[in-house]
Structure 1
C-alpha cells in the first residue's frame, strides 16, 4: 500500500506537488508556531504573516519568535525547508513565464479574445496596416497569421502572432476568427506571379468561407487582389471586400497628375495621423431623407461621404433613407464620439 502511494506520487505532476506542498507547509507551520508561542503570535493571521515574510526572505522583523523552541523551529523548519520549497516554487513560476513568452514569440499559443482583427501573411503592406490599426484603436488587439516566419516580427503587446498555414482550419481556429471583427488577407511577398499570388489568397479565403459555413457564423473578409481580373473568382469565394493596391496606386498617381493635390487628400483620409478620419455610423431616427442626414451631420462638423458604399448622396438627396443603412462620414474623433451618442 505504501509503495503504491509513493509510485502514484512520483507519477503525479511535480509542479502541482510542490505548490500543494507549499500551501500545506505554510498552513501547518503557522499553526505550530502559534502553539509554541501563543503569546507572541496571539492570532492565526500574525503567525501566518511571520511565516510568509520569513519563507519569502522579506523579513520585516516586526514580529519573531522569542523562545528557544520557537527559534529552533524557525531555524530547522522554516529557514531550511520553508525557504527551500518557496525557492523551488518561484523557480517553477519563472520557468512557466519564460516558456509562455517563448511559445508566444514562436506563435504557438491560441488566441482566446474577441472583436479582434486578423491579419494573414506578413508583408510591408500588412505591417503598415497593423501599425495603422494600432493607431486607430486603443483597445482592440490584432492576430497575425503567417507560415513563412518562425518568430513574431512585431514586438507589441496588442499583436498576437500565430505560426502556421492560414488555409488550415486548425490554424484559423487558433486565431479565433469566428469571434473576430474582420479578417484581412494580404498577398504573399514571396510570390511574384500575380496568378499564383491571388491563387494562394483565394485558397485562404475559401478555407475561411468553408469554416464560416461549418460553424454557421459569418466572417467578414477583406482580400488584397493583385490582378483585377481575378476579382470574379474572389466574389465566388465569398470575399466581402477587395483591395487592388497596384491598380489603386496607378489611378491615384494619374488623378494627382491631372488634378494636383488629390493624393494629399487621399493620404489624409486613409491615415489616422491627421485630425480628420473616416467613420461609420447608423442613421438617426429623425433623418427621413439623404438630405436630412447630410444637413444634420454638416451642422455637427461632419461630412457625409457615402451611404451603403454608394457615393451618389447628392443625387439621392430627396430619396428616403433606410434606417439600417451604413453611413460613411469624415470628421474629427471627438466629433464622431458626440455623433455616435446622438444617433444611438
Structure 2
C-alpha cells in the first residue's frame, strides 16, 4: 500500500511536470487568450452558483481577478460548497496560469531587449541618419548629432555583435552594410542621410576605400535619394567614386593636418575652425532660404547682417562677398555663420 502511494505520487509529479513543460511551450497569445477565458468562464460560473453573494457579473469578475492575482480582499467570498470548490481550483490553476502569462510577458520584454542589443530588430522610423562602420570618429559624430538635434534618430550599421552605443535615440543593426537586407533592416529608403566612415579594422588604405565604395554603391542602388557622405583615406581614390552618387567626401587625415598647419602659421586660427566644426559651442554654419525681396547678394548680405548672421557662400562659392552687386541665381543656396538662436529667429520670421 505504501509503495503504491509513492508510485502514485511520483506518477502525479511526472504528469504535472509534463503539463508545466507543455504550458511553457505554448504561444504567448494562446496563453493570454487562455487566461482571459479562464477569468471570464470562472466569473460566469461563480455568478451562476452564487448570484446573491456577488450581486452582479462585474463583482464576480472582480473576485476572480483578485483571487488569481493575490488571495482576495475578503469583500466577496463564496459561501456554498460548489463556490468554495471553484475557489480552490482557481488557487491552483488560475494563479499558475496568470503567473505563466506574467512570466512570458517578462520573457518577451527581455528577448526584445536582447534582440535590440544584438542588432536584430528592424528600425521602423523615418527621417533618421545612418552611421556605417563603428569607430571613435563615428562615436564623436553621433554625440555631435545628438547634441545638435534633440529629435534625431540614429542607426549604427556595423559587423559587431553588440550595440556599441546604447542610447535611447541610437539604434543598432548588426551585419554587412553592403547587404541589401541589412540596409532594408535599417530602413534605408526612409533615411535622411548616410555617413560611411572608414573601417578601422582594415589596415590597407586601398581596401578601406574599396569597402566604402561598395557600401556607397549598395546605398545608391537601394535608395538613390539618400544624401551620402563618405570618409576617404586616400585622396586619389575620390575619382573612383565618380560613377557612384556620393554627395560629399571627407578626407580622413586631411582636416587634421591642415588644422595643424594653420595653428603653426597663425595662432588662434584653429579656435575659429573648431567653433565651426563643433555644435557644442560657438558659431556654426547654417543654410537660409532666399528671400524673394533680395535681388543681389548685397541685398541678402545686408538683410542677414542686420539680423545677426553673416553671409559667406552660395553653395561652394565663397567669393560672393566680393561680388555683392551680382544677382542671386534662381538655384542659389545661401550659407551663413550664426548661432542657433539667431537662425531660428530668421527662419521663423520667414514663415510668417
Q: Does 1:99 align with 2:111?
A: yes
Contact 2:35 2:98 in 1 (8 A): yes
Match for residue 222 of structure 1 among 229, 234, 252 = 229
Alignment partner, residue 260 of structure 2 = 253
The more displaced of 33-42 and 188-197 is 33-42
Instruction: Map 1:132-281; keep pairs closer than 5 Å.
Output: 132-147=144-159, 149-212=160-223, 217-281=224-288
Equivalent residues, number: 329
Change (3 A) 1:26 1:313: farther
Change (3 A) 1:78 1:283: farther
Alignment partner, residue 18 of structure 1 = 31
TM-score norm. by structure 2 comes to 0.85
Q: Which has the larger radius of gyration?
A: 2
Return the offset for 1:328: 2.3
Change (3 A) 1:40 1:271: farther
Alignment partner, residue 6 of structure 1 = none
Alignment partner, residue 3 of structure 2 = none
Q: After superposition, what is the alpha-carbon deviation per residue over 1:30-56, rounded to whole angstroms, capped at 9, x for unaligned?
A: 333333444554444444344334323
Return the offset for 1:195: 1.4
Change (3 A) 1:289 1:16: same
Q: Does 1:336 align with 2:343?
A: yes
Contact 1:36 1:69 in 2 (8 A): no
Q: After superposition, what is the alpha-carbon deviation per residue over 1:287-339, rounded to whole angstroms, capped at 9, x for unaligned?
A: 33222222222222222232223222313322332455333233222222222
The more displaced of 28-37 and 111-120 is 28-37
Query: Secondary structure of 1:279's match?
Result: strand
Alignment partner, residue 3 of structure 1 = none
Q: Does 1:52 align with 2:59?
A: no
Contact 2:130 2:157 in 1 (8 A): yes
Gaps of 5+ in 2: 1-21
Match for residue 287 of structure 1 among 286, 294, 315 = 294
Gaps of 5+ in 1: 1-8
Change (3 A) 1:56 1:284: farther
Contact 2:133 2:157 in 1 (8 A): yes
Change (3 A) 1:294 1:51: farther
Q: Return the alpha-carbon distance in structure 1 between the equivalents of residues 26 and 329 of structure 2.
A: 61
Match for residue 127 of structure 1 among 134, 139, 143 = 139
Instruction: Map 1:284-323; keep pairs closer than 5 Å.
Output: 284-322=291-329
Q: Return the alpha-carbon distance in structure 2 between the equivalents of residues 324 and 24 of structure 1.
A: 66
Change (3 A) 1:53 1:247: same
Change (3 A) 1:275 1:54: farther
Change (3 A) 1:35 1:289: farther
The more displaced of 251-260 and 166-175 is 251-260
Query: Secondary structure of 2:253's match?
Result: helix
TM-score norm. by structure 1 comes to 0.87
Q: Return the alpha-carbon distance in structure 1 between the equivalents of residues 49 and 74 of structure 2.
A: 18
Contact 2:131 2:154 in 1 (8 A): yes
Query: Secondary structure of 1:224's match?
Result: strand
Change (3 A) 1:277 1:73: farther
Alignment partner, residue 327 of structure 1 = 334
Q: Return the alpha-carbon distance in structure 1 between the equivalents of residues 234 and 350 of structure 2.
A: 39
